[in-house]
């Protein structure tokens, strides 16, 4: 990569698991997903509040309780209650008025004032209640989303193992200096950005790069903070620490996107802008025709208060509830309004368009005496006790073909290369091209790599027996979903991935969408901002830590909730609770 950014076919309108790959199942992540509980709590709490309040008001009206309260409670008490409860809203309306803007709150405030003039104090209190409830729903969901920034910091290591005066010293991350050497062992996260100066390891850097496969790194390779070292160990020369690392910039980008997101004009506000003059005209006509202030106030109360005060929270709750039953969590009604205006949809690859896990797609024998099943059986036997994600894919392919595996002996994991075992007295190795030890690549290898596939070579006693190709495959329902987006009027779809150009092209080409590869989190958010500067309404769909800044910045961010990272879910405005 070396920081190079690649793009796919000409863009005219113009990933990514956060997991370490160390064996966490999608089901476990879905079970730990807080969204289902959050949506149920939200629906039950606010739905119950509205139902109880409405029933109480109806009962009180029928029994004459409201008239009794109006008669015996002094008006200063009513006025104090209305002023105290509604002050934040009144202040907002005043500021909007000074900016010459009419909002739905402006209408409700006029209705509230009319209720006060008419002496309908219970109605005034009820209007204030529903106005505050609608605002609290928006605040509640927004505050839940801001948890993303706090969750980010928990993903980065807080300490590092540093070489100082010939000894390894564990120090807080803020005490690590650029130029020092950090030691990272198997099962640990890289605490800094840096250059590998010693050791070999298999590292999952999907949190930053979005690459679907763990990468084999050695001297000269670049690694990022929050990467997970699965096999091997590394000595890293520090190039960036803390907020200066790529991961640190992700935290900063998410925070900035949350703070500077453009305001959304609500449908209710647009309606209020032309509805208010109509209401004022009708009220004025009523006063001129009847000469009664009470009748005029009644018109304003009916036209400006109850419908808007009740409709806002009820509509939000109804939409969230209906969506949740269909596996969709929406963190506020405003995002439904924006979705209808979307012109650009940008998508992550790994875990969003794809399943997020490698699958063996090809088994090619290189020895005429061996069939594909025998090559796969040897590979699965050698990988029987390996923890590498590709090993799991090999074992899965063998299980699908119901192959019987032997018991390997002298299992050895070779960091940066693969595995080696003894089987029936012979040496069997499975791994990348470095295992070929000077042997030329088979002709089929170049063809498979051009398709964006990762290759594993099966070698017995130094002789290549076959090649296995693995790829993170497309979700089966993606083509239909992309076609439906086009039918709904989305003008431009684009794939944004941290993976390499070959893999990006292999996924995007069958879908007929544009692509950009080798992107870091700051590159993804830059793409979103660029489209927004051009006047587009942008929807971002992703699932990983590296998608969080773009999800937060987009007009609507949609996270893959069932298999996505909790951080992406928090940063997004909508989450898909089902894995489809």
Tens digits of residue pLDDT in 301-359: 666 655 555 555 556 666 666 676 676 777 766 777 788 889 999 999 888 888 878 88
Domain spans, the chain: 6-17+330-354+475-576, 159-190+193-240, 358-471
Cβ distance 104 to 271 under 8 Å? yes
Sorted by sequence, the CB contacts under 8 Å of residue 199 that are 6+ apart come out as 218, 219, 232, 233, 234, 235, 415
> Residue 399's pLDDT band (boundaries 50, 70, 90)?
very high
Which residue would you say has higher pLDDT here, 116 or 362?
A: 362
Q: Over 80: is that where the pLDDT of 411 sits?
A: yes
Active-site annotation holder among 151, 348, 472, 543: 348
Q: Tell me the C-alpha distance between 94 and 16, whole Å.
A: 45
Q: What is the band of 205 on the pLDDT scale with cuts at 50, 70, 90?
A: confident
**Cα 121 from chain centre:** 46
pLDDT computed for residue 52 by the predictor: 67
> Can you tell me the distance from the alpha carbon of 255 to that of 360, in angstroms, rounded to the nearest whole number?
39
The single residue listed with the structure tokens 């609608």 is: 134
Whether the per-residue pLDDT at 224 is higher than 70: the answer is: yes
pLDDT of 379 > 90? The answer is yes
Domain topology for 6-17+330-354+475-576: Rossmann fold (3.40.50)
Q: What is the mean pLDDT of residues 515-535?
A: 91
Question: Tell me, which fold does domain 159-190+193-240 have in CATH?
Answer: 2.70.150
User: pLDDT digits over 67-94, tens only?
Assistant: 677 677 787 887 888 888 878 878 878 8
pLDDT at 27: 35
Q: Tokens standing for 110?
A: 């006029």
> What is the model's pLDDT at position 19?
35
Q: Give the mean pLDDT of the chain.
A: 77
pLDDT digits (tens, 9 = 90+) for 535-567: 999 999 988 778 888 988 999 999 886 555 666
| pTM over cut 0.75 | no
Span 166-204, pLDDT tens digits? 899 999 998 999 999 999 998 899 999 999 999 988 888
* pLDDT > 60? residue 65: yes
Q: Do domains 6-17+330-354+475-576 and 358-471 have the same CATH topology?
A: no
Give the pLDDT score at 196: 94
**Backbone angles phi and psi of 220, in degrees to 5:** 95, -15
Q: Mean pLDDT throughout 404-414?
A: 88
348 is catalytic: yes
| Residue 258 vs residue 237, higher pLDDT | 237
Report the CATH fold assignment for 358-471: Calcium-transporting ATPase, cytoplasmic domain N (3.40.1110)
Question: What is the enclosing helix (H) or strand (E) of 215?
Answer: strand 215-217
């Amino acid at each position: 990569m070396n920081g190079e950014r690649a793009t796919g076919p000409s863009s005219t309108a113009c990933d990514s698991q956060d997991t370490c790959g160390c064996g966490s199942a999608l089901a476990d992540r879905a079970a730990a997903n807080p969204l289902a509980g959050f949506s149920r709590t939200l629906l039950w709490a606010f739905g119950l509040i509205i139902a109880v309040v409405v029933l109480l008001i109806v009962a009180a009206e029928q029994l004459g309780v409201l008239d009794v309260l109006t008669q015996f409670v002094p008006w200063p008490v009513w006025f104090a209650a209305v002023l105290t409860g509604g002050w934040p809203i009144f202040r907002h309306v005043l500021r909007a008025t000074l900016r010459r803007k009419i909002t739905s709150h402006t209408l409700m405030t006029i209705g509230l004032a009319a209720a006060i003039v008419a002496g309908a104090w219970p109605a005034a209190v009820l209007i204030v209640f529903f106005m505050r409830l609608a605002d609290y729903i928006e605040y509640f969901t927004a505050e839940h989303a801001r948890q993303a920034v706090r969750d980010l910091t928990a993903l980065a290591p807080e300490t590092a193992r540093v070489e100082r005066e010939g000894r390894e010293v564990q120090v807080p991350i803020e005490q690590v200096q650029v130029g020092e050497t950090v030691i990272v062992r198997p099962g640990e996260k890289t605490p800094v950005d840096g250059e590998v100066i010693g050791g070999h390891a298999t590292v999952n850097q999907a949190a930053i790069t979005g690459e679907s496969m763990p990468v084999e790194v050695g001297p000269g390779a670049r690694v990022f903070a929050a990467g997970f070292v699965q096999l091997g160990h590394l000595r890293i020369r520090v190039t960036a620490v803390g907020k200066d690392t790529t991961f640190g910039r992700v935290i900063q980008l998410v925070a900035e996107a949350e703070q500077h997101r453009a305001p959304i004009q609500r449908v209710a506000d647009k309606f209020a802008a032309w509805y208010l003059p109509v209401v004022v005209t009708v009220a004025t006509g009523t006063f001129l025709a009847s000469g009664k202030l009470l009748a005029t106030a009644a018109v304003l109360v009916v036209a400006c208060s109850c419908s808007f005060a009740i409709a806002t929270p009820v509509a939000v709750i109804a939409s969230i509830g209906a969506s949740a039953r269909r596996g969709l969590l929406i963190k506020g009604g405003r995002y439904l309004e924006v979705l209808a205006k979307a012109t650009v949809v940008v998508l992550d690859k790994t875990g969003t368009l794809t399943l997020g896990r490698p699958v063996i797609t090809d088994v090619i024998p290189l020895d005429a005496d061996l069939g594909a099943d025998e090559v796969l059986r040897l590979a699965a036997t050698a990988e029987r006790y390996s923890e590498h994600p590709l090993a799991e894919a090999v074992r899965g392919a063998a299980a699908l073909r119901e192959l019987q595996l032997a018991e390997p002996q002298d299992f050895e994991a070779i960091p940066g290369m693969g595995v080696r075992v003894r089987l029936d007295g012979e040496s069997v190795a499975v791994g990348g091209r470095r295992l070929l030890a000077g042997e030329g690549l088979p002709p089929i290898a170049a063809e498979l790599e051009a398709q964006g596939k990762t290759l594993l070579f099966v070698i017995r006693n130094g002789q290549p027996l076959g090649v296995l190709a693995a790829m993170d495959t497309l979700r089966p329902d993606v083509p239909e979903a992309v076609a439906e987006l086009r039918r709904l009027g989305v003008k431009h779809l684009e794939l944004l991935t941290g993976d390499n150009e070959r893999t990006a092209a292999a996924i995007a080409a069958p879908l007929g969408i544009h692509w950009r590869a080798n992107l870091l989190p700051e590159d993804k958010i830059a793409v979103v901002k660029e489209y927004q500067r051009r006047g587009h309404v942008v929807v971002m769909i992703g699932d990983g830590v590296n998608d969080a800044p773009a999800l937060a910045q987009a007009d609507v961010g949609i996270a893959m909730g069932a298999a996505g990272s909790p951080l992406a879910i928090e940063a997004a405005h909508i989450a898909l609770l089902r894995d489809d």
